[in-house]
Chain A
């Protein structure tokens, strides 16, 4: 794996620090006019999620971390692990609750963290029938999606329809025309 000098530290770069994969958040160049140059770096440990500050002598380098982003499809939750699949190869991965939530990365073929796409389109498997004349304003009703998630949808949305959901807020966005 390539190594990266402090000059190449950019937000998002994945490096190994103290044997853990980490992501650079911020890199500030600190140099007294007549003194040694340092880089003060904010870095997130991808295994623990902790953010630490670390100073390097400018020009020092860190080993790159073999972390890759992989798009996967969520399959099911067996109570302990959540299971995902790479749609192209049908390879399956399981990961525990701790990893679900941050950006989705693989390190040494083990899932490090998972972040859902910002928007997903899912079919409604169960919801109460709507009443004619209802508009998007006002109350709404609960709807169960194919993944088991429950979101509030407007009254006019029917069972079997596909809707767009913002995964960051868990909110209904719109209906999707098939």
Chain B
């Protein structure tokens, strides 16, 4: 396993080096945090007597890397640790390894080509994959459930839950469209995706946009892509939002949701907003969970098998 990890890192570095994408390093500790209501961060105390500051461990290197992009770095990649509090399970460890990269000038389809090429290189010699599949969120959601993910119909969604032995979905999700999509997608769609193949799902509904740009032709969807193999979520990418006003608005919205749900308060990334104001070049980027990738390469059932010291033994 040690060798497999080293081999994968090496293959990634060769892949990007051949494409003149620069390897970078950014801080794991930051004065600001994400605002995403679905993520919990770790905090730590920075003591510099008489001063004391709260610092956050990054949940992904996205903000720092975007600051580099705005400063004119060109295309960059990074292999680093990321931390998400409270996430532990067969596919989650609170500390995990990410590969994140940004391609200046790429739109989503080009990024998707590159994802397929990289995964092809990494799986080569370990496991033969079936041809890569690409589906729009709407088409894949509809084909497995018969529901339209872009239009929220409370009746249809409830009826679907009842008919699929998931009546609890009604009380969990209520009238929250995004929550319904999370529920149904993760229970009834995702497990079917990418049978021994890379499966990319793009065009997420606008209510699940996060840091993606709204599609220029259809305002109901965003330029966001997710990558799956054997039903395992490997990565999430965007045609990146470059509008500082829109970004600021989404941050404020998420902070408000965090307050309502009484989640730990986050500190808005001032530097990121400043970077967007200075001008983030048109770019696309994605983060891939390398531990899960190793699970697939090694055919492991649990993330603990590919970590030297999972959290219980950290």
Residues of chain A touching chain B, judged by Cβ–Cβ distance below 8 Å, are: 7, 28-38, 40, 53-58
A-B contact pairs, 19 of them (CB 8 A): A30-B89, A31-B38, A31-B92, A32-B182, A33-B233, A34-B36, A34-B236, A35-B38, A35-B178, A35-B182, A36-B38, A36-B183, A37-B38, A38-B172, A38-B183, A53-B165, A55-B166, A55-B187, A57-B172
How long is the Cα–Cα vector from A54 to B187 in the complex, in angstroms? 11
**Closest beta carbon of chain B to A162's beta carbon, Å:** 45
Given A36-B182, A40-B187, the answer on whether A28 and B168 have CB atoms closer than 8 Å is: no
Within 8 Å CB of B274, what residues of A? none
Within 8 Å CB of A28, what residues of B? 89-90
Q: Which parts of B218-251 form the interface with A (CB within 8 Å)?
A: 226, 233, 236
Within 8 Å CB of B38, what residues of A? 31, 34-37
How long is the Cα–Cα vector from A28 to B90 in the complex, in angstroms? 7
Within 8 Å CB of B133, what residues of A? none
Given A29-B87, A55-B168, the answer on whether A36 and B36 have CB atoms closer than 8 Å is: no
Asked if B172 contacts A32 (CB within 8 A), the reply is no
Given A29-B88, A29-B90, A55-B187, the answer on whether A36 and B236 have CB atoms closer than 8 Å is: no
Chain B interface mostly helix, strand, loop or mixed?
mixed
Within 8 Å CB of B172, what residues of A? 38, 55-57
Asked if A55 contacts B183 (CB within 8 A), the reply is yes
Asked if B89 contacts A29 (CB within 8 A), the reply is yes
**Closest beta carbon of chain B to A94's beta carbon, Å:** 36
How long is the Cα–Cα vector from A7 to B87 in the complex, in angstroms? 10
Closest to B171 in A: A57
How long is the Cα–Cα vector from A7 to B208 in the complex, in angstroms? 26
**Closest beta carbon of chain A to B253's beta carbon, Å:** 15
How long is the Cα–Cα vector from A38 to B183 in the complex, in angstroms? 8
Within 8 Å CB of B186, what residues of A? 30-32, 35, 38
CB-defined interface of B207-223 with A at 8 Å, one 1/0 digit per residue?
Answer: 01010000000000000
Asked if A54 contacts B168 (CB within 8 A), the reply is yes
Within 8 Å CB of B226, what residues of A? 33
Asked if A34 contacts B210 (CB within 8 A), the reply is yes
Contact of B169 with A by CB under 8 A: yes
Within 8 Å CB of A36, what residues of B? 38, 178-179, 182-183
Asked if A55 contacts B87 (CB within 8 A), the reply is no
Asked if B87 contacts A31 (CB within 8 A), the reply is yes
Q: Which parts of B159-192 form the interface with A (CB within 8 Å)?
A: 165-166, 168-169, 172, 178-179, 181-183, 185-187, 190
Instruction: Tally chain B residues at the interface, Cβ within 8 Å.
Output: 29
Closest to A27 in B: B89
Within 8 Å CB of A29, what residues of B? 87-92
How long is the Cα–Cα vector from A53 to B179 in the complex, in angstroms? 19
How long is the Cα–Cα vector from A40 to B191 in the complex, in angstroms? 13
Within 8 Å CB of B236, what residues of A? 33-34
Closest to B190 in A: A32
Closest to A55 in B: B168
Asked if A55 contacts B90 (CB within 8 A), the reply is no
Within 8 Å CB of A7, what residues of B? 86
Asked if A32 contacts B168 (CB within 8 A), the reply is no
Contact of A32 among B90, B185, B289 (CB under 8 A): B185
Closest to B236 in A: A33
Within 8 Å CB of A33, what residues of B? 226, 233, 236, 289
How long is the Cα–Cα vector from A37 to B84 in the complex, in angstroms? 12
Closest to B88 in A: A29
Within 8 Å CB of A30, what residues of B? 89, 186-187
Within 8 Å CB of B208, what residues of A? 34-35
How long is the Cα–Cα vector from A32 to B181 in the complex, in angstroms? 11
Closest to B289 in A: A33
**Closest beta carbon of chain B to A169's beta carbon, Å:** 30
Closest to B92 in A: A29
Within 8 Å CB of B185, what residues of A? 32, 35
Within 8 Å CB of A53, what residues of B? 165
Within 8 Å CB of A37, what residues of B? 38, 86-87
How long is the Cα–Cα vector from A53 to B166 in the complex, in angstroms? 9
